[in-house]
Amino acid sequence: MKDRIINLLAAFETNNIGKSFPLDYCLPLYHSVSDKDLPHIKHVIQYKNTKQFEKDLDYFSKHFQWVNWSEFKDGMNGNFKPKKKIALLTFDDGFREFYDVIVPVLERKGIYACNFINPAFVDNKDMMFRCKASILVDTIQKRKDIDPEIYKLIPLKDQTIEALQKYILTIKYQEKEILEQLAGKLDVDFKRYSIENKPYLSTEELQTLTRKGFGISSHSWDHPKYDDLSLTQQMETTNKTFTYLKENGFLYEAFAFPFTDFEVKKDFFDEFFKNEDVYCSFGCAGIKMDSIQKNFQRIPMEMGESGEQILKKEIAYFKLKRLIQKNTIERK
């Protein structure tokens, strides 16, 4: 019912998105862009192809003014007067396509972007556990027969390929060792996959991107879901990443939560912002405000729809929530 109402309201949304957009800033979020089949993310991220991505960028350019990191900070502090509402383009996870596919498009269009990375995966030393899950699901899809021994590793009553795939995609960060066990049964070698496919950016590529003027910043050490961690664990992975960024000359003024900042408590932000180098943090709850003034919500753009459709639905949802005063995330 909620989706039907939002779709209905979105259909009546004005074409002047820049005027109807409820905030002074827009923060689109992507992970990757590719015209190729990417087994390590295709089952967990609905990434766009280059044509779809460029269409999104052109739509944003029509209604917003793209800014770089300094302009974003100045704009939020009231020290920058843009001609339109501002937009800061962001990417998560540090996938290689940012260097190979995305940056050439951005350079041609004169658009800045910041990529929030996990140092544990730089130089393809390892892969995020969700990427491993995607590879396993992809492998199962291509297999006619599955070793029945695999079902002894997991608590699954329905021993079908479909149920197995669904289960693999529900495995959490704390359970990621199960993925390694399943890989052994499926003859999947994650290290070989990393060597052959190089899904992540290298140190050299990150340094080149920095020299080109793009931002490389923090997304935690190895992509855990923060509300599953204790405060001590949250700060350990956060601080370890900031140390890495400083040592390598990357942008250490920002942090983007891996997965989501949903249910992250106020005590984390109190501790996090004791770091005077930090300007802000980013969630991904769409068009929404936050009781933590320096925590800004981004708009996920990989939802199987165009950027225009996503923005119109987000604006419609914001207006709907405004009626019941549910547009601000409250932290306890």
Host domain of residue 175: 129-195
Final residue belonging to a domain, choices 195, 221, 236: 195
**Average pLDDT for the chain:** 95
Q: Are residues 101 and 231 in the same domain?
A: yes
Least confident of 10-14, 24-28, 68-72, 281-285: 10-14
Span 209-243, pLDDT tens digits: 999 999 999 999 999 999 999 999 999 999 999 99
Supply the pLDDT for residue 324. Answer: 83
Looking at the chain, the whole-number percentage of residues with pLDDT higher than 90 is 86
Span 96-139, pLDDT tens digits: 999 999 999 999 999 999 999 999 999 999 999 999 999 999 99
Q: Are residues 254 and 171 in the same domain?
A: no
Beta strands in the chain (DSSP E): 25-26, 28-30, 65-66, 86-87, 89-92, 113-117, 215-218, 254-256, 280-283, 289-290, 295-297, 299-300, 328-329
Supply the pLDDT for residue 11. Answer: 67
Looking at residues 87-97, what average pLDDT do you find?
Answer: 98
Least confident of 11-15, 49-53, 115-119: 11-15
Q: Are residues 206 and 319 in the same domain?
A: yes
Q: Are residues 221 and 306 in the same domain?
A: yes
The residues, any chain, with a CB within 8 Å of residue 14's CB and separated by 6 or more, are 20
Final residue belonging to a domain, choices 195, 216, 232: 195
Q: Are residues 220 and 249 in the same domain?
A: yes
Final residue belonging to a domain, choices 147, 162, 195: 195
Supply the pLDDT for residue 32. Answer: 98
At residue 8 the predicted structure's pLDDT band, cuts being 50, 70 and 90, is low
Question: Which residues pair with residue 7 across a beta bridge?
Answer: none
- Tokens representing residue 312 in the block: 């119109």
Looking at residues 234-258, what average pLDDT do you find?
Answer: 98
Supply the pLDDT for residue 211. Answer: 98
**Considering its fold, how many domains does the chain have in total?**
2
